[in-house]
Structure 1
Amino acid sequence: MQKLTFNIRPLAEVLGANGLRGQGSLVDQIYGLLRKLIVNLSLPPESALVEQEVATVLKVSKTPVREALIRLSREGLVQVVPKSGSYVTAVSLDRYLEACFVRTQLEVGCVKRLAVQGVGRADQVRLKAILKEQEEALEQNNDV
């Protein structure tokens, strides 16, 4: 199994550049922030997520941080190791390539089905709007 390597920046540096947005519960905000940083690789695989450090940087108590980490572990994004700490789950290149293959097959299948069935005017407008959103996100480096 091949393994990807990443440059791991200090947690305070990554979190300090972002911060909470004030929407939803504190747990939801912390969860959303950490999830975004994991998905866009600002917190790469195997990064340590120290509860106290996250709490200090975000100026919150450890309890909502712990709850957010538990939610992330249920999704498989964080691995909680007893008496060691929490870490961003490692991703293997094989698993990544498999996920890309599955996504490609699903998307191609959907396009083929739409091509056979035909697309109505309302669906064309909606698809163009979605495409425009994706292009704007790409221009802004918003890959989440």
Structure 2
Amino acid sequence: EFSRPYYLAGQSILVKSDNTTIKTVNDLNGKKVCSAQGSTSEKNVIAKAPTAQLTSLTTYSACVSAMKDGRVEAVSTDDIILAGFAATDKTLKLVGGTFTTEAYGIGMKKGKVDLQKFVDGLLTDMIKDGRWEKLYNQYLGQVPGLLPAKDALAALPATS
């Protein structure tokens, strides 16, 4: 079971700060791009940039290392993951906005419908009373490349 979405991520692109050739997903065509092996991100790169030279590694940290070493020119996955790398390393930047939508929810054991309803209620209450926005601003509000809290909140499905 999964809770209602609490965040809508989108697949994006991470490059070195001095990279001026990759600005959009279309610019990945013909370029060496890394994504995690077997991920939906890997499939999305192939679908959106069919001539990209895809390298699949086991982790996004390994992809970032490959980019820093010059083995690939870009890393692609959810913006929230890439923003974490960019926030802690000023030699990296997010480019191109997002080109997919990925809903994040809280996973729980299948069949735990009561727990799912409880968690959904908590998330809905947090969104309605402003706690969600406060936490977003506290932990994500200053991360370059991510939406401001109001825009991220507006992207979520309506609460009842």
- The TM-score range, normalised by the shorter chain, is under 0.3
* TM-score calculated relative to the size of structure 1: 0.27
Which of the two has greater strand per residue? 2
> Whose Rg is larger?
1
Normalised TM-score (structure 2)? 0.25
Query: Which protein, 1 or 2, shows the higher relative CO under an 8 Å CA cutoff with sep ≥ 6?
Result: 2
Which protein is richer in helix relative to its size? 1
